Structure 1
Amino acid sequence: METSKGVPAGDLFILLFFTIGSVFAIISYTIYRNSRNLIENGVETKGVVIDLHRLKPREYPLAPSIRYLKKDGSEHVFHSSEARNPPEYQIGEEVTLYYDPSDPDNVHLKGNYLFVYVFAGMGAMFWLFSIWYVGGAVKAVFQWLFG
């Protein structure tokens, strides 16, 4: 007589944690690769921080608005979506940036890898809590699915 086993909820939870960590690691790598590509293939220029703006009303983290000249001589203002508390930049500060000539809003501020670090850190935390058990979890789920 065959005994029926229940759903291996703990093992599925471990696999979910490992998968979420993998997704965060992939996002981190993609952001890094896109930034490196922009640095290697974009146009380097200097810009000046002209304003610090809030991304959401009544929230303190501030993101810079940067005015820079494109290589054709026209002026462009880039509004960053990376806000920090305290702000990383001050109004009037000169910054080095890289931009895509075909999309001047595609900008990378030199040395700014905040999102890479955030997503890599989150991925590492999810992996930290799952990596030691993922092998056993895969085996248990495989046995549950295929007997």
Structure 2
Amino acid sequence: MKRNSVSLVFNIFLVIGIVMLTVSLIFFYNVKKFNASAVKTNGTVVDLIAKRGSKSTTYSPVVTYNDEAGVKHRYVSNVSSSPAGYDIGDQVEIYYNPNDPDNAQIAGWRQYFAVFITGVFALIFGLIGLGYHIVRKVGHSRKERLKQSGQLVQAGFIAVDINSVVSVNRRHPFFIRCEWKDPLTGITHPFKSGFIWSDPTPYIDRDKKIDVYVDRNTFKKYYVDISSFER
């Protein structure tokens, strides 16, 4: 998997997040618009409709209410929950369209259920997509800073490993391990490269040193130059 392919995956996540956020805002606007022109009245929960799923049973309240002309109407909530959010006999507030009294909604959180669900998905997908680009930008800035002001050392190749924790499209990234022995102190410093999304093993000359830029104040901050191993 090439870096461009990885970026494409996270760009798709970001686009999905933006789309879901737009949908959430549209739902929110529609609720506010409906409430602004609707008539508010009291209704009574007269029944609970069971909706049996594969793992649980949820319940939708059935509410009756009278419009301004005294005509009784029946409303079945399209939001169900487990346990039931209401008991039979509960009094609830109802918004209904004065031009179409059968078009009603229970006042409260149920009106915003779709807003909440799409908003959560927008947050999840958006943070994943945006987070990738933020991390990449921060990493790029850090890399450039180390290349400009860090100490260049020549590290010896140790191995190519796979990060089994991170996965994109069911594929795990590779990384290179290398090390450098400080001739002044005799201390050997291990280094790990950033992620490589295709196996770099065929492109590695095991006898060739790998450039590593190290922060002059601490060996904990470094950048392993893997540009020649990325395909």
Which of 46, 62, 67 is equivalent to 1:65? 62
Name the residue aligned to 1:50: 46
Normalized against structure 2, the TM-score is what? 0.52
- 3-state SS in 1 of match to 2:15: helix
1:74 aligns with 2:71: yes
Say which one has the larger Rg: 2
1:131 aligns with 2:130: yes
Which of 100, 103, 107 is equivalent to 1:106? 103
For residues 87 and 60 of structure 1, what CA distance do their matches in structure 2 show? 9
Name the residue aligned to 1:85: 82
Contact 1:38/1:108 (8 A) holds in 2? no
Name the residue aligned to 1:122: 121
Q: Percent identity?
A: 27
Q: Which moved more, 1:49-58 or 1:28-37?
A: 49-58
Letter of the 1:12 partner, please give it. Answer: L
Q: Which has the higher strand share?
A: 2
For residues 80 and 113 of structure 2, what CA distance do their matches in structure 1 show? 10
Letter of the 1:33 partner, please give it. Answer: Y
Q: What's the offset of the Cα at 1:98?
A: 0.7
For residues 24 and 105 of structure 1, what CA distance do their matches in structure 2 show? 29
Contact 2:77/2:105 (8 A) holds in 1? no
Q: What's the offset of the Cα at 1:9?
A: 1.8
Contact 2:39/2:98 (8 A) holds in 1? yes
- 3-state SS in 2 of match to 1:130: helix
- 3-state SS in 2 of match to 1:54: strand
Q: What's the offset of the Cα at 1:32?
A: 1.3
Name the residue aligned to 1:33: 29
Q: What's the offset of the Cα at 1:89?
A: 1.2
Q: Structure with the greater relative contact order (CA < 8 A, sep ≥ 6): 1 or 2? A: 1
- 3-state SS in 1 of match to 2:44: strand
- 3-state SS in 1 of match to 2:130: coil
Q: What's the offset of the Cα at 1:125?
A: 0.8
Contact 2:48/2:88 (8 A) holds in 1? yes
- 3-state SS in 2 of match to 1:89: coil
Name the residue aligned to 2:195: none
For residues 102 and 12 of structure 2, what CA distance do their matches in structure 1 show? 35
Contact 1:35/1:108 (8 A) holds in 2? no
Letter of the 2:90 partner, please give it. Answer: E
Q: Deviations over 1:108-131 (max 9, x none)?
A: 322122221121111101111111
Q: Which has the higher helix share?
A: 1
Name the residue aligned to 1:140: none
Contact 2:35/2:95 (8 A) holds in 1? yes
> What is the RMSD computed on CA atoms of the aligned residues?
2.3
- 3-state SS in 2 of match to 1:131: helix
Letter of the 2:87 partner, please give it. Answer: Q
- 3-state SS in 1 of match to 2:48: strand
Gaps of 5+ in 2: 137-231
Q: What's the offset of the Cα at 1:134?
A: 4.6
For residues 31 and 105 of structure 1, what CA distance do their matches in structure 2 show? 20
Letter of the 1:24 partner, please give it. Answer: M
1:12 aligns with 2:11: no
